[in-house]
Structure 1
């Protein structure tokens, strides 16, 4: 039996620790029959031969840029059946200047609300809030058997369209120091079908510590398998 092929593409902003974060999932992929190739730049997407034989792309590239040719290679591979998956800014805050990429993924990071002004320390922890992840589709193979759970990390506010299939959400409350006027619900976990390909996105994953949360890790591991060709 020929092994499946997984391609890990990582880079971009170092604050999301793309190397340490993706390394967490290499043993899982290998244990599930994947040959894993790791690339530190998204120009690998221009290699038609590599993309044609890739069953799953795990991307962790926050912000950064993508060339027209690299995006076309990624898009065409997904349409042809290659799976595309990732978490947090590595997939939902990539390539902000490419509107076609934003359409491909279906949801884009907008912000992560901060603590109350008098509780802010002036560092990254200002954005760590305790929030609930609500499982909204309990019948899907990615979420089956999981209950709602709490995390203390960045709570992503996501702009999205109706073509995504939402599996879990979170609600941003209204605080006196916020400019919005009613609670906002954002997707936390979603899937998307694009051509023959499957896309999986989870917004938790700011650090390896978040990825090691048992609920988050279960969602991502199942999502990787679901997305694969």
Structure 2
């Protein structure tokens, strides 16, 4: 039996622990029948042969840059049926300057609101807030999130700029606070899928740190999401 091929692309800002974070999920992919290749640069996306042979891309690259050719290669691969998935800044805050990438993903990190200024100490924990991941009606039925109810996290709460092509499985709401400039609660997608040509895209915004990725709800959603995104048997494997 031929294994399916997973390509793990990791790098960017070290604060999201791209090596350790992806290492949490590589054994799962292998146990699920994938042969896993790891690359430390998005420039692998320019290799049409590699991309045509890939069934799933797991990307964990926060910020950083990718060439126009790399983004074009990724878009072409997903359009032809390659699945793309990831979490947090590794997928929703990658290649900020590339509009074509942002359109492919369907959501871009804008901010993560902080605690009250009088509670801030200047480290990452300033942005760790208790919040609820709330399932949508679609989320209650979708295979990625079925059986998982609303759950609480204390970590970065992503405010995401997004569009209506996303199928939103879960949301999170940013409340109004006296020290913030917005005037009403803002609801952002927390988990979504997106169809792009013959391909599937999966994004989960929780995942700032390893303990969040090991949360049973988060881990289950990511594992299911990666399997959902992987190339389907009906998707074309031809890349031009």
**2:216 pairs with 210, 214, 217, which one?**
214
Name the structure 2 match of 1:148.
150
User: What aligned pairs does 1:69-218 form with structure 2 within 5 A after superposition?
Assistant: 69-136=69-136, 137-218=139-220
Residue 122 of structure 1, CA deviation: 1.1
SS across alignment from 2:121: coil
CA separation in 2, counterparts of 1:221 and 1:43?
25
Q: What is the CA–CA distance in structure 1 between the aligned matches of 2:171 and 2:144, rounded to whole Å? A: 14
Q: Distance in 2 between matches of 1:47 and 1:34?
A: 20
Runs (5+) with no aligned partner, structure 2: 232-240
Shift of 1:121: 1.1
> How far apart in 2 are the matches of 1:90 and 1:79?
20
Distance 1:162 1:151 in 2: 26
The total of aligned residue pairs comes to: 229
Which structure 1 segments of 5+ residues have no match? Answer: none
Cα separation, 2, equivalents of 1:214 and 1:92: 21
Shift of 1:71: 0.7
Query: Where does residue 60 of structure 1 map in the other structure?
Result: 60
CA RMSD of aligned residues (A): 0.4
- CA distance in 1 between counterparts of 2:66 and 2:43 reads 8
SS in 1 for 2:222: helix
Q: Which residue of 1 aligns with 2:39?
A: 39
Asked if 1:50 corresponds to 2:50, the answer is yes
What corresponds to 2:237 in structure 1? none
Q: Distance in 1 between matches of 2:193 and 2:126?
A: 30
Match of 1:6 in 2: 6
Aligned-partner Cα distance in 2 for 1:104–1:66: 14
1:141 match: secondary structure:
coil
Q: Distance in 1 between matches of 2:218 and 2:197?
A: 27
The secondary structure found in structure 1 opposite 2:113 is coil
